[in-house]
Chains A and B, each alone.
Chain A
């Protein structure tokens, strides 16, 4: 079945650690996105990529980094510079970054800072 997978489902981080969240898709989509969700709020865009080896900052990129070495994969690293990383992280993809295309979402990773 085609879809988006994220791992792990739950992740715990100690202060000062970097952690990497995995996102893989087998939908052959060009565009991929990372969003952050906080309680009672909508989703906010962290980073996006429209093509392999290219990515751009979204609205809240500070303290995060990404890579896009393969079309199928778009991992997100939460660095120690992110002061409030506890949140639900969602990865998404779409065929093209055109407005009429919906985005498909993965199941999410819940990150908690201990």
Chain B
């Protein structure tokens, strides 16, 4: 079945450091890929998405490129801020008979210190 694997956390960085959170996936067909962010005690917010190979999703300085050859969708940001502290989830959504459900990675906790 479909699965998503995220890098182990938590990740702790200083403000203005470079961020990478690795995400790889296994899926049949051609899924869409997503990064969601969750702040403490809240629901998930979409951060960015890519719907086909070589697409780059970007938002608020975050970027991720859909790499079919390596089945990856790594999240990057050039300079993190304290306000980026949150839990980040990589997810895929397959069409067809999968009824559009999201398959999530386990989440990566990011803490950014001033």
Residues of A whose CB lies within 8 Å of any CB of B are 4, 6, 31, 33, 35, 40-45, 48, 50, 56, 58, 90, 92, 94, 96-108, 110
**Contacting residues of chain B (34-53) with chain A, CB-CB under 8 angstroms:** 34, 36, 41-46, 49, 51
Set of chain A residues within 8 Å of B51, measured between Cβ atoms: 99-100
Cα A66 to Cα B100 in complex, Å, equals 18
A98 and B34 contact, CB distance less than 8 A: no
Query: Which chain B residue has the least Cβ–Cβ distance from A33?
Result: B101
- The answer to whether the Cβ of B102 comes within 8 Å of any Cβ in the partner chain is yes
Residues of B whose CB lies within 8 Å of any CB of A are 4, 30-32, 34, 36, 41-46, 49, 51, 89, 91, 93-95, 98-102, 104-107
A-B pairs with beta carbons under 8 A, tally: 74
Set of chain B residues within 8 Å of A105, measured between Cβ atoms: 36, 43-45
